[in-house]
Amino acid sequence: MATPENKLAFSGGWEYDPAPQSTDHITLNKRYGLFINGDFVPPARGRYFDTINPATEEKISRVADASSDDVDKAVKAARAAYNGAWGRMKPAERGKYIYRIARIIQERAREFSVIESLDGGKPIRESRDIDVPLAAAHFFYYAGWADKLEYAFPGRTARSLGVAGQIIPWNFPLLMASWKIAPALACGNTVVLKPAETTPLTALKLAEVVADAGLPPGVVNIITGSGVAGAALVEHPGVDKIAFTGSTNVGRMIQKTLAGTNKKYTLELGGKAANIIFADAAIDEAVEGIVNGIFFNQGHVCCAGSRLLVQESVADEVIAKLKDRMETLIVGDPLDKNTDIGAINSPMQLEKIESYLKIGREEGGEMHQSSCRLPKKGYWCRPTIFTGVSQSNRIVQDEIFGPVLAIQTFRRYDEAVMKANNTPYGLSGGVWTDKGAKIFKVTQAIRAGVIWANTFNKFDPTSPFGGYKESGVGREGGLHGLGAYVKLGA
């Protein structure tokens, strides 16, 4: 069993020296306006808010707080671009602009990763190796489709929708922006994108990339602000399509607002995925997969493996190995290249996670946390597991969005499937077994948009992503992601 005393033994007897990522190469303004019609402009009502580094609680910059007047201005700019230069442009030319965005993101990858980690709290290793490369890959992938839509929808004509209103959360700010903007542009639409309140900076940097890539003014508009601006975008009569990624609660409100309108929509919402470990699985790999599934990005992942269903005969072994592995995870400075778990994104999110730790204990669950030291400033949560929990517990049913894993056991295959399916969500899942036939059987039986086998949290722009049940409506990514941005005719 790992303890602070023998912790050094797990790292081979050595503590890691700090390996901080340099921040010399980034430039951030003290204040950012709204990116409308190709320029940064002040918000109509002159209001700004701070964006904070969650690892230090220090202010990084100030960003504009868009009102409904600004939303109106951005939608009108997007409409004018759609009716103008962008709408008239040949698809192959459109593709060139999207390729250019992809290449500039690659060129500025170090800058993007550092800003993502500063603003959002995620470890630099993740923003550098996952968020930024995948964001560029999305633009590359959809750039290729721009002049090939007739092959994407054989025998049908695909026409663009018009202006897309896009609203994204704080857990993958640049990546979610690319999931939204790239397919919309490839299909010939123009966009108004609203990033989340706590992580606006990489979206504003993306606005700079859009300007550097020479896109006609108004094709991409980026407006920072709160849910008020998001709601104004959803309600705006000049918007033809809403693409939303965020919580199920807000998704529900948006769906109500859109009911009875002609607006097309996709909703990518919450999740409570189960990793199912059968006794015949490669246990060490499975433990690594669990760690990756829930502690990766502080558990701020919609498809996080926040539940573990482990076959009873190997449960003790898996839990012991998991506890040992948790002891070796480094929690701390997101800009340190050794860090495994960074800062919780905001004080509100930390409060929510802590309230669930209390609920879990009150429900009778047994809580275990790693013994790591936490930095004095900033928002942090130790990797946490709960055992002794049952299916009806909130810790098993609710999305927590933090590094908190609820562990249950099962004896038979059908019990595992029943438990995995028994939540309101259906976004993702994982299965770990030595038997290919079992993989096919389980993946058919689980109602979730993506299920990984003997791995977890793997993404690719060519594969569709989206949820069943309360995890959402529609798909993003791949060919399916194009369908969400076109009208199909005969």
Q: Interacting stretch for ligand NAD, rule CB under 6 A, among 1-9, 74-82, 162-170, 409-417?
A: 162-170
Q: Which residue, 216 or 426, has its beta carbon nearer to ligand NAD?
A: 426
Q: Which two tokens stand for residue 375?
A: 């930095």
Torsions phi, psi for 371 (to 5 deg): -95, 15
- Asked if 224 touches ligand NAD (CB under 6 A), the answer is no
Using CB under 6 A as the binding rule, whether residue 203 contacts ligand NAD is answered as no
Residues contacting residue 25 through CB under 8 Å, at least 6 positions apart: 110, 111, 114
Residue 427 near ligand NAD by CB under 6 A: yes
First to last CA, the chain: 65
State how far the alpha carbon of 426 is from the alpha carbons of 108, 342, 430, 471, 474, in Å.
36, 27, 12, 6, 13
Tell me, residue by residue from 114 to 153, as one string, x for binding to ligand NAD by CB under 6 A and - for no binding: ----------------------------------------
Among positions 52, 130, 181, 196, the unique one binding ligand NAD when judged by CB under 6 A: 196
250 binds ligand NAD (CB under 6 A): yes
Contact window for ligand NAD (CB under 6 A) among 15-23, 30-38, 168-176, 322-330: 168-176
Query: CB within 8 A of 172, min separation 6: which ones?
Result: 131, 297
The residues in 461-490 that bind ligand NAD, with binding defined as CB under 6 A, are 467, 472
Binding segment for ligand NAD among 222-230, 287-295, 369-377, 407-415 (CB under 6 A)? 222-230
245 contacts ligand NAD (rule: CB under 6 A)? yes
Query: Is 60 among the residues that bind ligand NAD (CB under 6 A)?
Result: no
d(CA 263, CA 278): 44
For position 170 contacting ligand NAD by CB under 6 A, the verdict is yes
Q: Which residues pair with 310 in a beta bridge?
A: 277, 409
x-or-dash pattern for ligand NAD, window 292-331, by CB under 6 A? Answer: ----------x-----------------------------
Q: Could you count the other beta carbons within 10 Å of the beta carbon of residue 22?
A: 9
Here the tokens at position 197 are: 């309140």
The residue number with the shortest CB distance to ligand NAD is 230
Catalytic residue annotation: 268, 302
Separation between Cα atoms, residue 173 and residue 267, nearest integer Å: 16
Q: Specify the stretch interacting with ligand NAD by CB under 6 A; choose among 23-31, 241-249, 317-325, 368-376.
A: 241-249
DSSP string, 65-125: ---HHHHHHHHHHHHHHHHTHHHHS-HHHHHHHHHHHHHHHHHTHHHHHHHHHHHH---HH
Cβ closest to ligand NAD, residue 161 vs residue 233:
233
The answer to whether 424 contacts ligand NAD (rule: CB under 6 A) is no
Tokens of 357: 């730790």
Select the span of 25-33, 77-85, 149-157, 164-172 touching ligand NAD (CB under 6 A). 164-172
- Gap between the Cα atoms of 79 and 14, Å rounded: 59
Binding site for ligand NAD (CB under 6 A): 167-171, 194, 196-197, 226-227, 230-231, 234, 245-247, 250, 253-254, 268-271, 302, 399, 401, 427, 467, 472
